[in-house]
Chain A
Amino acid sequence: MQACRNHNETLMLDVLDELTDPRVRRDWEGHLASCSGCRTEKAQMLYLLVQVRASGSPPELSDAEAQRMAGAVRWEIRNRPNRVSRSGWSFRLIPALAAACVLIITVMAGYWFKDSFFGAGRVFDLASEPQLAAPDLDVVKHLDLLRDMDTIEKLIQIVDIPDNGLSPGEPNPETQGTQPDENSHVVA
């Protein structure tokens, strides 16, 4: 059987020994006498409270432990009486400063590692390539220019092709044998 919902708070106050108002107490006790649900709930909550209290009671400090703690406190007060409280803003400032330092160091380290790591990689890659001879390097260097020259040469060839369809360097079969020497004239 459930406890009455409208008496939940009074029940809790009774269990925790906080029902100080005599009128409320009298009413509550009258209700308890007639309501078995509330009686059961009260008994269960009291039992639970005892259990919880038992589980949370601290183990006894031995005399030696108590003396050690008291001695440590007295020593601290005597030798460092004006140490700044660790709960103030100054205490919160310390982790903030530490975090800022860590951040700065991380950024610097990252920058340094980036340079050294990737820089080293680049050097390593270049070094691992086969060395080229100087003329070859020259060719590579002027590759674009050579490519342009090649294109121009092809263009000239196309433009210079005569109507007979032969390229300028090719011998014409019609005029073959009549090609004048450099030192002679063709006789018709």
Chain B
Amino acid sequence: MSADKPNPDGTYARRGLPVAPAREASAAAPRDDELVQRARNDDPRAIAQLVERYQKKVYGIAYQFCGFDKSEAQDMAQEALLQIFRNLKRFEGRSQFSTWLYRVAVNACLDSRRRRRRWSQLLFPWRADRQDGGNTGTVLENIPAPEEDGNPLSNVSGGELKRDVMAALDTLSANQRTVYQLKVFQDMSIAEIAEVTGMAEGTVKTHLFRATQAVRAQLHRWVAP
């Protein structure tokens, strides 16, 4: 897996993800480890630069974890970023900063999703019952309307696809879903996913295989004729 070895600036050489912003930065831009060192010493400019560098990536993860809802994703991303910077002193430098950051962000998003689900079950038990019964009614109700692009046909089919994708993701276990989302939406390699989630590569592969099969079966009507 030599292609997956991180660059000195904390980016991965492969496929442009997960830390594209740093790689695209110009030579004058400070490296992650320099910024982290300064941020740990409470340098506000370093913190600002790190936030700016990673916020869209964290927002992207949050968007997929919170059920494709933009405003919820912004809240979740903000919460995740706060956790990252509040725990920055615990970062020991054993892995790349970007890997550690993704791990904290994914955990924050999972926690947030669990919390929201718990509150939802407490406040709307009838919805939780439906969800427990394997019905995806809650998911379907919560998915926001697709963004308008002027073409009603594509809006309708885009909305339907989004709902079906959410419903399919909702049938997966938490681990399968996390692995699948990191692979498909964040385009991480299996090695990177293993590092971020703390699973063995074989486990990641198994989860990914099962998730792919399940999603394929759920979305059979979207497969090209």
Contacts and interface: CB of A to CB of B under 8 A. Distances in A.
Interface of A: 8-9, 12-13, 15-18, 20, 43-45, 47-49, 51-59, 61, 65-66, 69-70, 72-74, 76-78, 81-83, 85-87
Given A52-B184, A56-B68, A87-B111, A44 B73 contact: no
Contact of B64 (A9, A20, A58): A58
A76 B82 contact: yes
A73 B58 CA distance: 13
Nearest to A48: B223
B70 A58 contact: yes
B219 interface: yes
7 contacts: A12-B213, A51-B165, A52-B165, A54-B161, A55-B162, A58-B68, A70-B51
Interface residue SS majority, chain A: helix
B107 A85 contact: no
A56 to B, nearest CB: 5
Given A20-B1, A44-B223, A48-B219, A73 B85 contact: yes
B158 interface: yes
B41 interface: no
Interface residues of B, number: 53
B161 A55 contact: yes
B55 interface: yes
Nearest to B70: A59
Interface in B129-170: 147, 158, 161-162, 165
